[in-house]
Amino acid sequence: MANSNNKKCFVIMPISDADGYDKGHFNRVYEYLIKPACEEAGFDCVFRSIATQGFQS
């Protein structure tokens, strides 16, 4: 839950389905692992998505 007094945790991770992973894998990683851990540590998650399909660096 967002709290304006909390520090921010900036999360960058893939969100699209990628070969070799179950559909929705990265969404579940964020929702069930990263976000709760950040909140438990007193941070608000600031989420930045990276599309993996068609990405060129």
Model pTM? 0.69
Which domain covers residue 33, as residue numbers? 7-50
**Distance separating alpha carbons of residues 37 and 29, to the nearest angstrom:** 11
Q: Please choose, from the candidates 33, 32, 30, 39, the residue with its C-alpha nearest in 3D space to the C-alpha of residue 9.
A: 39
- Residue-wise pLDDT tens digits, 1-13: 566 688 998 888 8
Minimum mean pLDDT range among 2-6, 25-29, 32-36, 53-57: 53-57
Q: Is residue 29 part of a domain?
A: yes
Q: Is residue 57 part of a domain?
A: no
**pLDDT for the residue 41:** 94
56 assigned to some structural domain: no
Is residue 35 domain-resident?
A: yes
Work out the average pLDDT over 10-21.
83
**Number of residues written out for the chain:** 57
Structurally, the chain folds into a number of domains equal to 1
